[in-house]
């Protein structure tokens, strides 16, 4: 299958076929009845192996699928793949597309239907380009995540959590959905830093963030807004339910264990909770929550207060 009929005296044609045969591109020609009439070495390695027939398009794809060759079929259903592909093979005069192989390579295919109904396919290996594309995409995603994440706790940073708050308020305004927020502050955190140093303070922040993240609902968003202060977004729950969630976080909150267990620091927090009102914006809802937080601290800390006053 590595030759085509040609005049043996036609040196140019002979050189062309030899070049195609040795080319790193995958070249194949199927006739109007979808019988393979030519395949160079690259195409044979991709689809045929030691296969000797029948050399029809369907037969080749089935053989390749059985033997771990050829294109990746995501659902593993080779017959469904063939049914989808048959109708498209000659639907347009020319088309180009990318496809991935079971061996991990990617090819860019130029698919041409000739006037006599024969099909010429030329595939170029673009694996290196796809790897570069994947690396760039991963680097972009990593940079985007870093720009949104608090480095110490792994939580959304101030900018990101406030952006999520804006989105939640827009959804609340547009759909009438219920939304509550809680501003949370670790009690007497400055004393921890002053007494045990900033490394101990960082350990307490990490411990606090990790424990809170384990205790909130899947749909909630917890972010660090700075220092020892955190913002918790509680969608689809009213004020009483929001207070229960915050108190459940507080209930039995474990001490932060430092070093190899030689130091345990009780970890308590105060919280101010409020429910979004019509036409609330970021400033107004946080103002109410902050006032409630100050009230919780003034009342002795380690408790929750509700901000209910009207928006100003």
Active centre residues (catalytic): 228
User: Which residues touch 222 (CB under 8 Å, ≥6 apart)?
Assistant: 155, 156, 161, 209, 212, 213, 216, 230, 231, 232, 233
State the pairing for strand pair 94-100/106-113. Answer: antiparallel
- What are the tokens at 40? 């160079």
Rounded Cα distance, 29 and 116, in Å: 12
State the pairing for strand pair 263-265/221-226. Answer: unpaired
Rounded Cα distance, 179 and 144, in Å: 27
φ/ψ region of 266 (left if φ > 0, alpha if ψ in -120 to 50, else beta) reads beta
What is the CB-side half-sphere exposure of residue 61 using CA atoms within 13 A?
19
Asked if 37 contacts 28 with a C-beta cutoff of 8 angstroms, the reply is no
Rounded Cα distance, 238 and 249, in Å: 17
The 3-state secondary structure of 176-239 reads CCCEEEEEEEECCHHHHHHHHCHHHHHHHHHHHHHHHHHHCCCCCEEEEEECCEEEEEEECCCH
């Amino acid at each position: 299958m590595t030759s085509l009929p040609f005049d043996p005296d036609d040196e140019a044609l002979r050189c062309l076929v030899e070049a195609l045969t040795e080319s790193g591109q995958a070249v194949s020609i199927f006739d109007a009845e979808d019988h393979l009439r030519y395949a160079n070495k690259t195409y044979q390695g991709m689809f045929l192996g030691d296969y000797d027939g029948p050399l029809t398009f369907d037969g080749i794809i089935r053989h390749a699928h059985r033997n771990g060759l050829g294109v990746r079929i995501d659902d593993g259903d080779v017959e469904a793949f063939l049914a989808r592909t048959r109708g498209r093979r000659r639907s347009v005069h020319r088309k180009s597309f990318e496809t991935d192989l079971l061996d991990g390579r990617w090819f860019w295919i130029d698919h041409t239907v000739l006037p006599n109904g024969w099909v010429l396919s030329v595939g170029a290996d673009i694996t290196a380009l796809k790897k570069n594309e994947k690396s760039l995409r991963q680097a972009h995603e990593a940079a985007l995540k870093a720009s949104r994440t608090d480095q110490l706790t792994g939580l959304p940073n101030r900018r990101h959590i406030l952006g999520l708050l804006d989105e939640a308020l827009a959804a609340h305004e547009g759909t009438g959905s219920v939304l509550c927020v809680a501003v949370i502050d670790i009690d007497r955190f400055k004393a921890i830093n002053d007494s045990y140093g900033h490394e101990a303070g960082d350990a307490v922040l990490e411990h606090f963030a990790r424990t809170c993240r384990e205790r909130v609902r899947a749909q909630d968003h917890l972010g660090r807004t700075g220092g020892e202060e955190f913002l918790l977004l509680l969608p689809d729950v009213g004020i009483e339910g929001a207070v229960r969630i915050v108190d459940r976080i507080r209930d039995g909150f474990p001490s932060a264990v430092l070093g190899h267990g030689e130091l345990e620091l009780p970890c308590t927090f105060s919280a101010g909770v409020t429910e979004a009102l019509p036409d609330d914006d970021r400033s107004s809802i946080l103002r109410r929550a902050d006032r409630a937080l100050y009230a919780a601290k003034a009342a002795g800390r380690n408790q929750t207060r509700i901000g209910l006053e009207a928006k100003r």
